[in-house]
């Protein structure tokens, strides 16, 4: 029986994950298909129940469902529990297990941008959605001592901080209101800036003005594209990196969870690059029908 893996999001019209996962199944001779399910929030619970069937290996979950899906699975792994967000589901019989492989993907991206430098201890994170939860948890695990989270809707950032209450008890994790002057003041005290908002995904906009970006910053945008933020940061002399490695490695970890086999990383990276060069845009998080030069998951 051909096994199925589905990507559940809203909307999902094209998918970079599809390009790399299908190629990986094919290369390893695994009889499986990677399907895209565009399901609005109201259909999420039914969709999750559907993947309990024997023909499913599991699923990926993306914008905007990563947090909403948490109570719909039967068990959470340590990362799923800690972040309160799930991007990968596996099956144990009819029971579903919620994982968060974004955490592992973010770790690879963080190590790459830090390089041979000493791991910083302070970070500013823009955004408080499912992706930001993986980023914040990754930073806490890495030993960061001060993380400031800015979000358009402050209450969501406050919810994130509350969620990490115990995990972050030994350090300073704070939500702050999205005011340019406050962001500027915090950036002046910080080495690492991570954009985990979707600003820059569908339009050539930056979440923050170019003037607040300083040359000694490390700027990581989890969007898989040379976003305006990254271009502004590079112009200011900062070190920059996009979301490619996070996307690749969260996908590789998910592949191994579904198949029990090591992921063919080189092939997956090549497929991502081809999809980008061929102009395939990710629909994960992208409003239907809007053209975009950016790519996401
Ligand atoms: P969510 O929908 O859960 O969160 C979206 C975030 O973006 C929220 O913080 C939201 O703020 C903010 N935002 C969206 N639009 C605006 C706007 N116009 N102005 C200000 N803030 C805005 O999505 P995810 O957290 O799952 O994903 C966020 C981004 O991270 C996406 O671009 C996604 O592609 C990327 N990502 C990349 C990964 C990778 O592997 N490279 C992995 C995970 C995510 P508010 O709460 O105020 O609405």
Residues near 214 by Cβ (< 8 Å), separated by ≥ 6? 187, 188, 236, 238
Q: 272: Cβ below 6 Å to ligand 1? A: no
Give the mean pLDDT of the chain.
93
Please report the pLDDT score of residue 241 as a whole number: 98
Residue 199 to residue 159: CA distance in whole angstroms:
20
Q: How far apart are CA 229 and CA 17, in angstroms?
A: 23
Band of residue 280 on the pLDDT scale cut at 50, 70, 90? low
Segment 24-61, tens digit of pLDDT: 999 999 999 999 999 999 999 999 999 999 999 999 99
- Count Cβ atoms within 10 A of the Cβ of residue 12 and give its class: 0-12 exposed, 13-18 middle, 19 or more buried: buried
For 72-82, write each residue's pLDDT tens digit: 999 999 999 99
> How far lies 171's CA from each of 74, 81, 277, in Å?
31, 20, 42
Question: What pLDDT is recorded for position 284?
Answer: 42
Over 60: is that where the pLDDT of 288 sits? no
CA of 128 to the centre of ligand 1 (A): 7
Catalytic residue among 66, 107, 191, 271: 66
Residue whose CB lies within 8 A of the most ligand 1 atoms, among 69, 131, 154, 202, for a mutation test: 131
* pLDDT value, residue 279: 67
pLDDT digits 0-9 by tens, 15-33: 799 999 999 999 999 999 9
Substitution site in 9, 196, 247, 255 for ligand 1 pocket (most atoms within 8 Å of beta carbon)? 196
CA of 225 to the centre of ligand 1 (A): 14
C-alpha distances in Å from residue 28, one per residue of 23, 25, 42, 119, 169: 9, 5, 36, 36, 44
Give residue 2's pLDDT. 97
Contact 149, 135 (CB under 8 A): no
Q: Span 185-195, mean pLDDT?
A: 97
Q: How many residues does the structure list for the chain?
A: 297
For residue 63, which atom of ligand 1 is closest to its CA? 26
Q: Are 259 and 57 in contact (CB under 8 A)?
A: yes
| Cα torsion 77, 81, 86, 91: sign | positive
- The pTM assigned to this predicted structure is 0.94
Cα–Cα distance measured from residue 252 to residue 277, given in angstroms and rounded to the nearest whole number: 21
Check residue 129 and give its pLDDT: 94
238 touches 259 (CB < 8 A): no
Instruction: Determine the pLDDT at residue 275.
Output: 86
Mean pLDDT computed over 197-222: 96
Task: Assess whether the C-beta atom of 127 lies below 6 angstroms from ligand 1.
Answer: yes
Å from CA of 200 to ligand 1 middle: 10
Contact 17, 7 (CB under 8 A): yes
CA–centroid distance, 126 to ligand 1, in Å, is 9
pLDDT in tens, 70-121: 999 999 999 999 999 999 999 999 999 999 999 999 999 999 999 999 999 9
Ligand 1 atom nearest to CA at 201: 32
Check pLDDT > 70 for residue 259.
Answer: yes
């Amino acid at each position: 029986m051909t096994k199925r893996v589905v990507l559940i999001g809203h909307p999902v019209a094209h998918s970079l994950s599809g390009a790399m996962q299908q190629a990986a199944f094919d290369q390893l001779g695994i009889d499986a298909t990677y399907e895209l399910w565009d399901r609005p929030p109201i259909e999420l619970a039914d969709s999750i129940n559907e993947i309990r069937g024997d023909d499913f290996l599991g699923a990926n979950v993306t914008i905007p469902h990563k947090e909403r899906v948490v109570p719909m699975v039967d068990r959470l792994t340590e990362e799923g529990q800690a972040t309160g967000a799930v991007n990968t589901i596996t099956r144990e019989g009819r029971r579903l297990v919620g994982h968060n492989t974004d955490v592992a993907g973010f770790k690879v991206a963080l190590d790459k941008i830090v390089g041979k430098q000493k791991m910083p201890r302070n970070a500013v994170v823009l955004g408080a959605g499912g992706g930001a939860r993986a980023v914040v948890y990754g930073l806490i695990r890495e030993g960061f001592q001060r993380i400031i989270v800015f979000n358009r809707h402050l209450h969501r950032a406050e919810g994130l901080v509350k969620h990490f209450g115990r995990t972050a008890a030994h350090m300073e994790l704070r939500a702050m209101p999205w005011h340019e002057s406050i962001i500027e003041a915090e950036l002046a005290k910080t080495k690492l800036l991570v954009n985990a908002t979707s600003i820059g995904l569908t339009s050539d906009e930056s979440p923050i003005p170019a003037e607040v970006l300083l040359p000694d910053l490390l700027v990581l945008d989890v969007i898989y594209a040379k976003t305006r933020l990254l271009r502004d940061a590079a112009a200011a002399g900062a070190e920059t990196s996009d979301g490619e490695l996070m996307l690749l490695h969260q996908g590789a970890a998910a592949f191994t969870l579904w198949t029990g086999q090591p992921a063919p990383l080189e092939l997956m990276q090549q497929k991502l690059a081809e999809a980008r060069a061929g102009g395939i845009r990710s629909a994960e998080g992208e409003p239907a029908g809007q053209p975009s030069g950016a790519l996401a998951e």
